[in-house]
Amino acid sequence: MPAAGGQVSDGPRASRVVGTVLRCYPARWRRRHGEEAAELAALLIRDGTPAGSIAWSYLAGAAREWLTPRPVRRLSTVACALLVAACSLGVSAGLLASAAPARAASTSQARGHTPGRAHCRPGSPEPVPGVTPAVSRPQVIIWEAGHGRSC
Amino acid sequence: MTVSGRDGKAGQDVLRRVGEASVLILISLADGPKHGYALIQDIKELAGVELGPGTLYGALDRLERLGLIDALPADDRRHPYRITAPGAAALRVHLDSLERVSAAGRLRLRLGGI
């Protein structure tokens, strides 16, 4: 590999070994340091540093690079976690909000409860006094006395 | 990051956990910008430590992330690095801390008569 300061004395084999090891780094690292790292290796080999020790150093560096969490990755993980938490909170709040009128309806109907009669009649046009019908809200399953009924 | 103190009391020693290679790089950059090869040569002369290139780039990335050094525009394919103001302050704090520990160690050796 031609170096800035001259030819590499250890030949192309050393450059190939170092080049192979440099491919172990993440692409982001290679874009940033790849060319410079190859040139640095060539200069060090020219100065008499064994190619094996350079390759080993780069290999250890590549392992560290993969294993060390990046701040951006950490930030995005935190952002994702916050987003998921916010979404689940929103869904829970929505479910609670839609469950409350349905529960109220169930309670008010239970006052005039007739055994064997369904509390909820899907599609029933009868308005329940004091309860706003949950139009376009998620379907809620009310469990009562061990039987699930869909309203 | 609080590295503004010159005496090491006001500032926190942020270099305590970054490793010897990072401290040596900061010391080497203290007298002017250098690229990777020049850093390795300088550190070899300065401290007798032969820094591996993998260690060098790892330390450079870490120092850059901490804002202690800056990469200058590439000169040919080489990126020179320079120490930043927070980097210089952190180095001062760290060297002061090392000096205090060194002085205490020497004093204890004298007191112990060794």
Residue of B nearest to A32 (CA): B79
Domain contains B96: yes
Specify if B66 maps to a domain: yes
State how far residue A56 is from chain B, nearest Cα, in angstroms. 8
Q: Is B113 left (phi over 0), alpha (psi -120 to 50) or beta?
A: left
CA distance B11 to chain A (A): 23
pLDDT reported for residue A140: 52
B82 contact A CB<8A: no
**pLDDT confidence of residue B7:** 41
Q: What is the pLDDT of residue A139?
A: 54
Does A6 score more than 50 pLDDT?
A: no
Q: What is the pLDDT of residues B3-40, one digit of tens each?
A: 444 444 456 888 888 889 999 999 999 999 999 999 99
The better pLDDT of the pair B103, B11 is held by B103
In a domain, B35, yes or no: yes
Residue A91 is predicted with a pLDDT of 73
Give me the residue from B37, B58, B79 closest to A43, CB to CB: B37
Whether this model's ipTM surpasses 0.90 comes out as no
Nearest CA in chain B to A21: B54
pLDDT (tens digit, 9 = 90+) per residue, B56-91? 999 999 999 999 999 999 877 788 999 999 999 999
Burial class (CB in 10 A: 0-12, 13-18, 19+), B11: buried
Q: What is the pLDDT of residues A58-113, one digit of tens each?
A: 999 999 999 987 666 566 666 767 777 777 777 777 777 776 666 666 655 555 55
- Least confident segment among A73-77, B96-100, B109-113: A73-77
> Is B114 part of a structural domain of the chain?
no
Across the interface, of A41, A58, A71, the residue whose CB is closest to B65 is: A71
Question: Rounded to an integer, what distance in angstroms lies between the CA atom of residue B76 and that of residue B79?
Answer: 8
pLDDT of B96 above 80: yes
Q: What is the CATH number of the domain that holds B63?
A: 1.10.10.10
Is pTM beyond 0.90 here? no
Q: What is the pLDDT at residue A78?
A: 64
For B:89-108, CB contacts with A below 8 A are none
Is B69 a domain residue?
Answer: yes
- Please name the residue of chain A whose CA is at the shortest distance from the CA of residue B36: A40
CA dist., res. B81 & res. B36, Å (int): 8
Question: Is the pLDDT higher at A48 or at A12?
Answer: A48
Kindly report, residue by residue over A112-139, the tens digit of the pLDDT.
555 544 444 454 455 555 555 555 555 5
Indicate the number of domains in chain B.
1
Determine, for residues B53 and A64 on separate chains, whether the beta-carbon distance falls below 8 Å: no
The residue with tokens 């309203």 is A151
Reduce the secondary structure of chain A to three states and give it as a string.
CEECCEECCCHHHHHHHHHHHHCCCCHHHHHHHHHHHHHHHHHHHHCCCCHHHHHHHHHHHHHHHHHCCCHHHHHHHHHHHHHHHHHHHHHHHHHHHHHHHHHHHHHHHHHCCCCCCCCCCCCCCCCCCCCCCCCCCCCCEEEECCEEEEC
- Would you say residue B70 lies in a domain? yes
Answer whether residue B33 is part of any domain.
yes
CA atoms of B107 and B109, how far apart (whole Å): 5
**Domain residue limits at B93:** 14-108
Cβ of A41 within 8 Å of Cβ of B53? The answer is yes
Within a domain: residue B20? yes
